[in-house]
């Protein structure tokens, strides 16, 4: 399940039961898969388990089989006997009437109203409830049922945002955009979902082949396999004329004939065959167990997830700098960072795929490949009582208030990184009374000083996120190291976009040619730091990439290309990829993000009218989607219509008064209007709201200086330097302002501070010489 409901799966037809929906969807409807799979159809789990009875029995006991269901006596776990729940002055009441499950709670207008629960969502450790509206929208209530046993704190109603008041006009309110099942949840909780959003009518007609996560959610539509099975006159022996694929969309055969012999010297196992670059199993599980956004319904199991989804890299706000999960990122991104993944471990090496349960209890799964005499010994665990391997190597974080999840990065504890970078570590999860330094010292005594682990990119990503002057060199090193997990290299390439120099051309070319599409997409992100006129030779080949997600990204990066010098073939390739991009954005026409991206795309192509229309459409869908307001104001800036831009930004501030980026944009707008005093006020608010943004503090200080307040400007720069001591722009500004003020000693001190960060900067060395010369020439007191 998902915090803001970033999961997936289903469609509704009011009053029609599950059996009817399944039969309709498995009848004449094609699934819309590409290539020769367009004729494949969903047949339903019942057809599968007729032959695969053992797998069907395992599946019936899994959470996949209960991922979503119609609200009935058998499926509803919550207390609907008149129970109430209070949340910031709103009392919700759960009751029943004529066999229906009802809730009285605050609706879209903030007033109490009664709604019918049509569907249940999940079973353990919580269950959510879905409400269907006349326009086809299905919304997830934010008051959920804690289904854990009472002695574990369960059997109660609770709110998913217990510590903040989510009012009816908030985008996170259960009736609003970010709790919409059709977009946020359906794909992963049901099988064969088709969103079917009509932007002209602003309605959904979402459908699914099966209400829960059935066999075909992972194996793909089964009509061909069923035809192959029904066409056989005998099951044994298989004849030479049998189709090798047996009519399956994908065969999960990566573990077939693979052994894991253990080296007695190391106590570790190694795969008998090298794993393939494309891991069919991991990519298929990643459909729902990844932080990603869908842009196409042409997904095929066993293919790269990037074909139809934008997969989140190790990004600030989602992960910690060392790759540990922070926000709700699920397992895919963490697992692809791991040494286990690099060694060829697949999901089903640990989990039985039909029940989704661990193959062995306790530490048994780990001890399949790691000998107990070495890894279950006190010399390894450091604890007299045998600890669970997962306690140290798969620490848990809690999401949705009660849902504990293990980090699948399989990393060694690094409390030393906690000391340096502020990341968390497994040691202090238990030893909460001790410091990270204490834990780091214990690890060093125990395992030695060079216990670095497999994930070595924390310092680089941290430097990028805090604006460290060593970020560029560190990121380039990570991006160019093929021994680093692909997802980390993709993240480093993306971060290099604002820092790219001619020295990074080799890293860029290598990334664009990498076998992993996430890395190619990261390299395209990096290319955005290159002037448009220079991008074509690097990225044009990716307009014809085998993976649609790469083609779509290349189309956006090259959207502003001057086509006059291109051949007709190249223009056709650029246009074809551009049409794919437009189609991808149209698929999510119910979301402001897609309209905003499409507006940017049109603007790069010089289609100003279309760009303005898309940005306005984004704001019509959600006035709280402030990036669209900022982009629209910037469009008006380009057109010399700053007055209109100011109106857009002020309206956005009404919707989001705590939005630092809006205040910053309005401040810049007012600077251009030569209303400097008003501008300083807005820039100050931005800097105060987002002190983690060094750029906001720097721009505020420059505005103060321009307004004739040099002392205040220097004070603002000093405050910003306390938080961002390595920020180059801030240091350069305070050097210049101090020198202008006649404070040569302070200017020299800051110049030396910057020189320590960039020792090979010749211009800075000359400046230091000049400043030292001025001090030496000054009369002695």
Q: How far apart are CA 715 and CA 697, in angstroms?
A: 11
Closest to 110 in 3D by CA, of 163, 160, 181, 175:
175
Is the pLDDT confidence value at 239 over 80? no
**pLDDT, averaged across the chain:** 91
Supply the pLDDT for residue 6: 29
Closest to 528 in 3D by CA, of 493, 562, 503:
493
Q: Helix H segments across 310-466?
A: 332-335, 339-343, 347-350, 372-375, 378-381, 389-393, 415-421, 426-430, 436-447, 458-466
Instruction: Kindly indicate the confidence band of residue 8, based on its pLDDT and cuts at 50, 70 and 90.
Output: very low
463-477 in b/e burial notation, b at 16+ Cβ within 10 A? Answer: bbbbbbbebbebbbb
Closest to 356 in 3D by CA, of 518, 173, 124:
124
Q: Helix H segments across 436-502?
A: 436-447, 458-466, 471-479, 486-495
pLDDT: which is higher, 774 or 340: 340
Nearest 5 degrees, angle CA 341-CA 67-CA 158? 105
With a CB cutoff of 8 Å and minimum separation 6, the contacts of 90 are 105, 106, 112
Check whether the bond before 237 is cis (ω within 30° of 0).
Answer: yes
- Least confident range from 284-288, 383-387, 584-588, 703-707: namely 383-387
Largest CA distance in the chain: 108
Distances 616 to 414, 578, 588, 602, 629 between C-alpha atoms, Å: 47, 21, 16, 13, 8
Which secondary-structure segment (H or E) carries 116?
strand 112-121
Contact between 285 and 332 (Cβ < 8 Å) = yes
Is the pLDDT confidence value at 377 over 90? no
Q: How far apart are CA 403 and CA 576, in angstroms?
A: 44
Quick: pLDDT tens for 184-214: 999 999 999 999 999 999 999 999 999 999 9
Distances 308 to 1, 51, 454, 602, 746 between C-alpha atoms, Å: 21, 31, 29, 22, 55
Q: How far apart are CA 58 and CA 54, in angstroms?
A: 6
Q: How far apart are CA 506 and CA 557, in angstroms?
A: 19
The stretch 472-495 carries a mean pLDDT of 96
Supply the pLDDT for residue 64: 97
Q: How far apart are CA 459 and CA 656, in angstroms?
A: 33
The stretch 329-354 carries a mean pLDDT of 96
Contact between 696 and 683 (Cβ < 8 Å) = yes
Closest to 460 in 3D by CA, of 426, 393, 507:
507
Phi, psi (degrees; rounded to nearest 5) at 530? -100, 140
Quick: pLDDT tens for 244-292: 788 899 999 999 999 999 998 889 999 999 999 999 999 999 999 999 9
Strand partners, 102: 95, 116
Quick: pLDDT tens for 503-546: 999 999 999 999 999 999 999 999 999 999 999 999 999 999 99
Quick: pLDDT tens for 138-180: 999 999 999 999 999 999 999 999 999 999 999 999 999 999 9
Which secondary-structure segment (H or E) carries 705?
helix 694-706
Contact between 394 and 287 (Cβ < 8 Å) = no
Closest to 122 in 3D by CA, of 195, 176, 174, 188:
188
The stretch 404-410 carries a mean pLDDT of 96
Is the pLDDT confidence value at 23 over 50? no
Burial of 451 (0-12, 13-18, 19+ CB in 10 A): middle
Q: Helix H segments across 149-213?
A: 181-184
Contact between 467 and 724 (Cβ < 8 Å) = yes
Closest to 68 in 3D by CA, of 205, 210, 196:
210
Q: How far apart are CA 380 and CA 377, in angstroms?
A: 6
With a CB cutoff of 8 Å and minimum separation 6, the contacts of 283 are 302, 303, 304, 305
């Amino acid at each position: 399940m998902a915090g803001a409901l970033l999961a997936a799966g289903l469609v509704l037809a009011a009053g029609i039961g599950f059996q009817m929906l399944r039969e309709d969807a498995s009848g004449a409807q094609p699934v819309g898969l590409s290539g020769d799979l367009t004729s494949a159809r969903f047949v339903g789990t019942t057809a599968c388990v007729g032959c695969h009875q053992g797998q069907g029995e395992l599946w019936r006991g899994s959470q996949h089989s209960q991922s979503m269901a119609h609200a009935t006596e058998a499926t509803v776990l919550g207390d609907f006997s008149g129970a109430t729940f209070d949340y910031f002055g709103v009392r919700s009441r759960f009751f029943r009437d004529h066999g229906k499950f009802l809730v009285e709670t605050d609706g879209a207008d903030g007033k109490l109203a009664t709604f019918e629960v049509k569907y249940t969502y999940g079973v353990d450790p919580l269950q959510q409830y879905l409400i269907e509206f006349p326009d086809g929208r299905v919304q997830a209530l934010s008051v959920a049922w804690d289904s854990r046993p009472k002695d574990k704190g369960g059997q109660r109603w609770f709110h998913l945002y217990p510590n903040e008041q989510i009012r009816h006009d908030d985008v996170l309110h259960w009736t609003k955009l970010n709790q919409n099942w059709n977009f946020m949840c359906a794909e992963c909780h049901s099988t064969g979902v088709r969103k079917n959003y009509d932007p002209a009518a602003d309605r959904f007609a979402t459908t699914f082949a099966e209400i829960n996560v059935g066999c075909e959610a992972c194996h793909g539509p089964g009509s061909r396999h069923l035809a192959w099975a029904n066409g056989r006159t005998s099951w044994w022996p298989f004849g030479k004329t049998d189709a090798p694929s047996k009519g399956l969309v994908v065969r999960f055969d990566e573990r077939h004939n693979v052994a894991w012999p253990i080296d007695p010297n190391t106590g570790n196992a190694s795969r008998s065959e090298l794993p393939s670059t494309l891991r069919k199993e991991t990519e298929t599980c990643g459909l729902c167990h990844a932080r990603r956004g869908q842009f196409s319904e042409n997904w095929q199991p066993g293919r790269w997830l990037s074909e139809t989804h934008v997969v989140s890299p190790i990004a600030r706000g989602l992960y910690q700098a060392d790759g540990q999960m922070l926000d709700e990122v699920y397992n895919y991104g963490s697992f692809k960072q791991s040494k286990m993944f690099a060694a060829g471990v697949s999901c089903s090496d640990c989990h039985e795929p039909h029940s989704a349960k661990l193959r062995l209890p306790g530490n048994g799964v780990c001890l399949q490949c790691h000998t107990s005499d070495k890894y279950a010994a006190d010399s390894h665990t450091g604890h007299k009582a045998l600890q669970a391997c997962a306690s140290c190597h798969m620490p848990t974080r809690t999401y949705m208030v009660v849902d504990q999840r293990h980090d699948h990065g399989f990393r060694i504890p690094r409390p030393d990184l906690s000391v340096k970078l502020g990341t968390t570590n497994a040691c202090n999860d238990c030893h909460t009374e001790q410091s990270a330094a204490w834990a780091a010292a214990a690890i060093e005594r125990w395992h030695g000083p060079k216990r670095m682990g497999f994930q070595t990119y924390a310092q680089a990503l941290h430097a990028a996120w805090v604006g460290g002057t060593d970020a560029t060199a560190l990121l380039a090193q990570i991006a160019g190291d093929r021994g680093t997990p692909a997802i980390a290299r993709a993240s480093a390439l993306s971060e290099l976009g604002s820092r790219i120099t001619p020295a990074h051309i080799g890293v860029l070319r290598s990334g664009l040619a990498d076998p992993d599409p996430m890395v190619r997409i990261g390299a395209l992100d990096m290319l955005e730091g290159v002037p448009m006129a220079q991008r074509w030779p690097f990225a044009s080949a990716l307009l014809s990439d085998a993976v649609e997600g790469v083609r779509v990204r290349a189309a956006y990066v090259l959207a502003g290309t001057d086509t006059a010098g291109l051949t007709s073939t190249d223009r056709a390739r650029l246009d074809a990829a551009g049409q794919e991009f437009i189609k991808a954005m149209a698929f999510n026409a119910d979301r402001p993000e897609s309209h905003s991206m499409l507006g940017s795309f049109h603007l790069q192509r010089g289609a100003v009218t279309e760009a303005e229309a898309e940005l306005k459409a984004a704001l019509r869908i959600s006035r709280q989607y402030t990036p669209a307001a900022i982009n629209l104001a910037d469009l008006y800036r380009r057109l010399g219509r700053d007055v209109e831009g100011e109106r857009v930004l002020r309206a956005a501030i009404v919707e989001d008064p705590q939005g630092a980026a809006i205040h910053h944009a309005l401040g810049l707008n007012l600077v251009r209007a030569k209303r400097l005093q008003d501008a300083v006020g807005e820039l100050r608010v931005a800097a105060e709201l987002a002190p983690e943004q060094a750029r906001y503090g720097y721009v505020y200080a420059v505005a103060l200086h321009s307004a004739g307040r040099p002392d205040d400007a220097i004070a603002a720069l000093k405050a910003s330097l306390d938080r961002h001591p390595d920020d180059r722009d801030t240091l350069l500004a305070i050097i210049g302002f101090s020198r202008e003020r006649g404070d040569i000693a302070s200017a020299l001190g800051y110049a030396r501070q910057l020189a320590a960060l960039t020792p090979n900067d010749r211009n800075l060395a000359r400046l230091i010489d000049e400043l030292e010369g001025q001090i030496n020439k000054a009369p002695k007191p």
